[in-house]
Amino acid sequence: MKRQIIQVVASVCSLGFFAGLAAAQAKPAKPITVPGEMKGVQLVSPVPDGKWALPAGDYANTRYSPLNRINTSNVKKLKVVDIVSDGITRGHEGQPLVVNNTLYMVTPFPNNLLAFDLTKPNFPLKWEYKPGPNGEAFALASRGWVNRGASYADGKIIYATLDDNVIAVNAKTGKQVWRIKVGSLSKGETTTMAPLIVKNVVLVGNSGGNFGVRGKLTALDLSNGDVKWTAYNTGPDKDVRIDSSFHPYYSNAKGKNLGVSSWPADAWKRGGGTVWGWISYDPELNLIYYGTGNAAPLNPDQRSGDNKWTCTIWARNPETGQAKWADQLVPHDAWGYSAINENILVDMDWQGKMRKLLLHPGANGFMFVIDRTDGQILSAKTFEPVNWADGYNLKTGLPEVNPTEVTHMGAYARNVCPSSAGAKGSVPSAFSPQTGLLYIPAHNTCMNYEAIKANYIARTPFLGANTLMFPGPGGYQGELVAWDVKDGKKVWSIKDQNLPVYSGVLATGGGLVFYGTMEGWFRAVDARSGKILWQFKTGSGIVGDPMTFTGPHGKQYIAIYSGVGGRMGMVAQPDISASDPYAALGAAGAMKDLKKVTAPGDQLYIFALP
């Protein structure tokens, strides 16, 4: 008996020793540099050369690839080498993955997974996995049946379906490895975001704020899908996973059970704050970063209080889910300003000192620069017309709200900027360490907002507002903004008079920035000057995110989906009226010309040099 005890103790001790060693080895000893990187800029976790195995390519969400065979001097020769049609003419958000000479594509609902063989001419289909989701999810997809992509790790492609299944598929054979349900259609809950895999954890957020769904992030075990923890975005500290390791920077985030006390009665149970955007990860700090959606219902008078933790950026430990810090960007949201946009991690010289930054181009029109170690907001400047707030008090972390722009039940608020579609939607920006610029796909829309009483009936929208959107001031409705992070200003932009820019952005080591327009133009732009060096008209508006990879023979490729849809693009679908500006949650008012310039599509385009 005694010998057995000694054996057990010895094994535990040695396990602990090796675990500690492994943990120590997980932290990089010195900063990573890439060719052409400017002084005072360091990347946190760059894309491994030629591969694209995570939604943003890298953990830091820079969407920067060092590949440079396609560059400013030769991109004018870029041509189409392959076009794939998936037969599903709904919004194609997200991006493909490339791992081991295979390209993986997740389609819009019904969310099939296709694998293409890059080693053979014409990239033939290797296999197709069809999850067969529940058709009733169709009516719950308030942003148009999109899927924002998959992640790869440990031989598995992992993604989520609209009807709340997280599925791991064997990347070689296309056979299902595991499939776990993480939400419930009966509550109006769906899933559209791209899960992120960190160490042995799969992180998935939910959608459905417009249906009064309670927002959350679920962590599943990579090997078998078992749920390890769930962090809600409303409710008591236990549910929200706040404990003694929580050290928020600002006092408005300090206190017990704020996720209950900042709501009337049990309104937090239907409070929204869903997680349908992007997750970033800092391997050195071992923290994940993501934002939560707007509060439900859109009628603010039904939910007095700050409504924590909606419109909030979280920093959490990925293995335990415990919160490290939180910044609520919009307390008592009266406009639908979700905080789910990407959080780009980069180390930069900030006012004379190297700091670990988090860049968040907000839906509320402010470009946030935040210290990602503790959540301190270093800068918040507007990048599009804004009138709901004059600025942010950097001492308190609170916006200086204009009382005349706060919406109320029974009142018809006019000309509030930006609209609830945001100065920027969930389509992601890119950062180039060569230029120090953040390339933001921006909208310029304002809105009229009539808050009305919302009735909660499960599985029906819990909206509480009629909104109508229209172009903002300045004579343009969209622009690709090149934002100088250090100086906090626009250095150039490419404006679109009639349409928002609603595609993701890619920055490359070839000095290029790629993005697409809602009419379907796919463009390569000089990352420094903003000059359009090349463009190609694809078959449908572009709402997806460009990515790049190397093929089996070292050739560089650029890939992009073409298939209009999503929050602003839904208006192009045949079942949306052209005569009602309030349709599609108000987007129809701003997008009335969309049907004239594009139609739904279903394609993946791949480009290369001849």
Q: Does the footprint of another protein cover residue 577 (CB under 8 A)?
A: yes
- Full strand arrangement of the beta sheet holding 312-316: 280-282, 287-291, 312-316, 323-328
Q: What is the rounded CA–CA span in Å between residue 53 and residue 41?
A: 24
Q: Does the footprint of another protein cover residue 83 (CB under 8 A)?
A: no
The residue from 4, 122, 244, 579 that contacts another protein (CB under 8 A) is 579
Which residues lie closer than 8 Å to 127 by C-beta, 6 or more apart? 114, 115, 173, 174
Q: What is the rounded CA–CA span in Å between residue 70 and residue 48?
A: 17
Q: Does the footprint of another protein cover residue 210 (CB under 8 A)?
A: yes
Helix (H) or strand (E) holding 480: strand 478-484
Q: Does the footprint of another protein cover residue 544 (CB under 8 A)?
A: no
Q: Tell me the three state secondary structure of residue 566.
A: helix
Using the 8-state DSSP alphabet, how is residue 185 labeled? Answer: G
Nearer Cβ to another protein, position 269 or 528? 269
# residues near another protein by CB under 8 A: 48
Backbone angles phi, psi at 355, to 5 degrees: -135, 155
Cβ neighbourhood burial of 34 (10 Å; 0-12, 13-18, 19+): middle
Pairing state between β 216-221 and 227-232: antiparallel
Q: Give the binding range for another protein (CB under 8 A) out of 31-39, 74-82, 136-144, 307-315.
A: 136-144
Q: Does the footprint of another protein cover residue 576 (CB under 8 A)?
A: yes
Q: Give the binding range for another protein (CB under 8 A) out of 20-28, 244-252, 377-385, 523-531.
A: 377-385
- CB 504 to another protein: min, Å: 23
Q: Does the footprint of another protein cover residue 581 (CB under 8 A)?
A: yes
Please give the residues from 444 up to 473 whose contact with another protein meets the rule CB under 8 A: 446, 448, 452, 455, 457, 459-463, 466, 468, 470, 472-473
- CB 156 to another protein: min, Å: 30
- CB 587 to another protein: min, Å: 9
Query: Positive or negative CA dihedral for 570, 303, 341, 97?
Result: negative
Determine contact, residues 96/606, Cβ cutoff 8 Å. no
Q: Does the footprint of another protein cover residue 142 (CB under 8 A)?
A: yes
- CB 474 to another protein: min, Å: 8
Task: Write the interaction track for another protein spanning residues 289-318; mark x where CB under 8 A is met and - where it is not.
Answer: ------------------------------
Q: Tell me the three state secondary structure of residue 235.
A: coil
Please give the residues from 545 up to 574 whose contact with another protein meets the rule CB under 8 A: 570
Task: Write the interaction track for another protein spanning residues 397-416; mark x where CB under 8 A is met and - where it is not.
Answer: -----------------xx-
Task: Write the interaction track for another protein spanning residues 427-446; mark x where CB under 8 A is met and - where it is not.
Answer: -------------------x
Q: Does the footprint of another protein cover residue 21 (CB under 8 A)?
A: no
Could you tell me the two tokens for 198?
């960190």
Cis-peptide into 309, omega within 30 deg: yes
Buried-state track 173-202, b at ≥16 Cβ within 10 A, e below 16? ebeebbebebbbbebbbbbbbbbbbbeebb
Nearer Cβ to another protein, position 73 or 577? 577
Q: What is the rounded CA–CA span in Å between residue 577 and residue 595?
A: 10
Using the 8-state DSSP alphabet, how is residue 509 labeled? Answer: T
Query: Positive or negative CA dihedral for 582, 584, 587, 590?
Result: negative
Total residues found in the chain within this entry: 610
Q: Does the footprint of another protein cover residue 384 (CB under 8 A)?
A: yes
Q: Does the footprint of another protein cover residue 213 (CB under 8 A)?
A: no
Using the 8-state DSSP alphabet, how is residue 214 labeled? Answer: B
The residue from 260, 345, 417, 559 that contacts another protein (CB under 8 A) is 417
The residue from 136, 226, 400, 487 that contacts another protein (CB under 8 A) is 136
Q: Does the footprint of another protein cover residue 386 (CB under 8 A)?
A: yes
The residue from 585, 591, 594, 608 that contacts another protein (CB under 8 A) is 585
Q: Does the footprint of another protein cover residue 582 (CB under 8 A)?
A: yes
* Residue 479 CB neighbour total at 10 angstroms: 23
Q: Give the binding range for another protein (CB under 8 A) out of 7-15, 134-142, 286-294, 309-317.
A: 134-142
Binding residues for another protein, per CB under 8 A?
135-142, 144, 210, 381-382, 384-387, 414-415, 417, 446, 448, 452, 455, 457, 459-463, 466, 468, 470, 472-474, 570, 575-577, 579-585, 588-589
